[in-house]
Structure 1
């Protein structure tokens, strides 16, 4: 049987089935466009947020020490932090100092030798926190230590890029003391022209991602397991 021509098909009321693939293809293209737009918009938002974060960190500066705080807290992570905290304590800008997140194998004598500080200062006025394993633990132990000593105002000594996340974690603790950030700028983070170094960019990008994670966690009300043990060792 020979195939009918197009005119013959129309004459006998025979029509080719309508193509049904054009509409789904248009839908897929629209979906792909929306996804691409969302990714671009999200990327632009994150990039803008990172630029603001890096700018805010760069603008952090050592506060003028007018008057005194009740106590001083150093979050471990570099010798510069501890040296700065001990200087504040030695000059009388706080009554006691807490070093939070100390390695369990590190003693007060070892810290005194590392910093070149008189051991008597450690014996008198320094407490070591061996329990905090992260910034969440640092914040909780800081608040607990301040409560135990009746402190309501603290100097918080940590690296400049770590200040925003530390303040977020402390703000999430009920009845936390007032905190004055005392930023320390790591030598390898910034170049002489004020721009971050290659290492600095990596540190800032990593810290920015952590800050976003903290904000998301707090926005959704997620309560991560905090430090289970709360032992603070008093020297002397």
Structure 2
């Protein structure tokens, strides 16, 4: 009985991992507009994509969560080719976050402060599911969250690690729900 149960759990884990790795979220392609863009720092392309969406007029503001506290706005603007006018009106940097959970808290506080009703989340495709899970937990219920994943080429090790982080967060959420009842 134990072997069958263990084999069944292993199969569920395996097929879950295959699903996770093969069906990574993609970019938002329908041209939808949002009140704001939340770009999480990390792998290459996230900030660039958020800025591109902002420049195309698909959102009014961009919040970059998890910027190193030593980075000055002028340095950020120079590195990413952002004009002072665009920085002044539409780009805000968040310096409080240091991981995905704190990204969600920092971003949700910013969304509440700016009264955004629709938010486009920009992060790497392999990171999107967990980032979305964390941000949905923190956002007000009436805020629409859209996935806008940056395509990447993650290693098998990165996918393996992220899959387990996602499973851990899902299990802690289930545990919390079960014990709140």
Query: Do the structures match in fold with TM over 0.5?
Result: yes
Distance 1:78 1:56 in 2: 19
The answer for the alignment partner of 1:216 in structure 2 is 171
The answer for the alignment partner of 1:12 in structure 2 is none
Question: Residues 50-88 of structure 1: CA distance to partner in whole angstroms, max 9, x if unpaired?
Answer: 01111221xx22222434110111000034110110111
Range with bigger deviation, 165-174 or 177-186 = 165-174
1:81 correspondence with 2:46: yes
Q: Where do 1:29-68 residues align within 5 Å?
A: 34-57=1-24, 60-68=25-33
State the TM-score, normalized to the length of structure 1: 0.69
Q: CA deviation at 1:164?
A: 0.6
Range with bigger deviation, 35-44 or 91-100 = 35-44
| Runs of 5+ unmatched residues, structure 1 | 1-33, 190-199, 223-236
TM superposition outliers: structure 1 runs of 4+ over 6 Å: none
Distance 2:118 2:57 in 1: 14
Contact 1:79–1:115 (CA<8 Å) still a contact in 2? no
Aligned residues: 176
Distance 1:124 1:65 in 2: 25
Q: CA deviation at 1:116?
A: 2.4
Pairing partner for 1:203 from 150, 158, 161: 158
The answer for the alignment partner of 2:140 in structure 1 is 175
Shift of the 94–66 alpha-carbon distance from structure 1 to 2, 3 Å rule, reads same
Q: Where do 1:1-236 residues align within 5 Å?
A: 34-57=1-24, 60-173=25-138, 175-176=140-141, 177-186=143-152, 188-189=153-154, 200-221=155-176
Distance 2:173 2:32 in 1: 33
| Runs of 5+ unmatched residues, structure 2 | none
CA RMSD, Structure 1 to Structure 2 (Å): 1.7
